[in-house]
């Protein structure tokens, strides 16, 4: 008999205190989000899965740059892939990450436009 981790239902509430592991993980996430191209790719993927060609067209970045950023995002587990024939389709790995990215852009919009903040 092997010891298995307990299976938990997904939730929006996470009350665990920020211990070292959580702080390091959050730091890694924010480091990955600090690059404007990666952030834009994640923003696009938060709306719908896409392949490299679509991401290149949508982001305006070179195919080489998009591929390199996607490799980093995949390595860190922030995006996942599936094969559809010869195409590799990327998707954002988690709803929390998608919401974090969208909220980052919402916050930036307030800062750029001067719209008052809200709760």
Question: Which domains occur in the chain, in start order?
Answer: 34-113 (1.10.10.10)
As beta bridge partners, residue 91 has 80
- Alpha-carbon gap, residue 73 to 67, rounded angstroms: 10
Q: What is the pLDDT of residue 1?
A: 45
Q: What is the pLDDT of residue 34?
A: 96
For the chain, 119 residues long, the average pLDDT of each consecutive 10-residue run is 59 77 94 96 97 98 98 97 96 96 94 89
Other Cβ atoms less than 10 A from the Cβ of 98: the count is 17
Q: What is the pLDDT of residue 65?
A: 98
The continuous run of DSSP H or E covering 50 comes out as strand 50-51
Q: What is the pLDDT of residue 3?
A: 56
Nearest to 80 by CA among 45, 105, 35, 116: 45
Q: What is the pLDDT of residue 39?
A: 97
Residues 65-89 as b/e (b if ≥16 CB within 10 A, e otherwise) read ebeebbeebeeeebbeeeeeeeeeb
- Alpha-carbon gap, residue 37 to 17, rounded angstroms: 31
Q: What is the pLDDT of residue 11?
A: 64
Compute the residue count for the chain.
119
pTM attached to this predicted model: 0.83
């Amino acid at each position: 008999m092997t010891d298995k981790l307990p299976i938990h239902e997904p939730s929006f509430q996470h009350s665990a205190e920020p211990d070292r592991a959580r702080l390091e993980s959050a730091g890694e996430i924010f480091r990955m989000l600090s690059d404007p191209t990666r952030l834009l790719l994640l923003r696009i993927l938060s709306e719908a899965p896409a392949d490299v060609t679509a991401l290149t067209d949508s982001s305006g970045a070179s195919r080489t740059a998009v591929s390199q950023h996607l490799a980093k995002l995949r390595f860190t587990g922030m995006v996942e892939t599936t094969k559809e024939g010869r195409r590799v389709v990327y998707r954002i790995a988690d709803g929390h990450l998608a919401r974090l990215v969208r909220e980052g852009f919402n916050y930036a919009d307030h800062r750029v436009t001067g719209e008052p903040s809200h709760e």
